[in-house]
Amino acid sequence: MDNGPEFTPTALAEWADEHSIELEFIQPGTPTQNSYVERFNRTYRDEILNMYVFKTLAKVRELTENWIREYNDERPHDFLNDLIPWEYLIKHQTPGNSNLGCT
């Protein structure tokens, strides 16, 4: 995880220890070590957190669930040659192909 202030509270460390979870931090100043999460954080912040004023936690959850559904089921992805995930699956699925066409 990142070394940002949101991940340094002792409460998180205590909770992780109680649940036998080892926290691993990236090296300071090297966000590319965590690039997938950094990309997700930026996208989620731009499309949800910066776009709304939330009155309840339930509203945050509702908007997030809708966003996740749209992101995973309806939105074309660059990595999938601008296909929606289910379109990519259908296009690359062949009997006995366990990697679904990924190289």
Residue 102 pLDDT: 52
**What count of other Cβ atoms lies within 10 Å of the Cβ of residue 88?**
19
Rounded to two decimals, what is the model's pTM?
0.56
Residue 25 pLDDT: 80
Confidence of residue 2 (pLDDT cuts 50, 70, 90): low
pLDDT value at 100 more than 60: no
Please list the residue range(s) of the chain that carry CATH number 3.30.420.10.
Answer: 1-51
Mean pLDDT of the chain: 82
Confidence of residue 23 (pLDDT cuts 50, 70, 90): confident
CATH topology for 1-51?
Nucleotidyltransferase; domain 5 (3.30.420)
Per-range mean pLDDT, top range of 19-23, 30-34, 97-101:
19-23
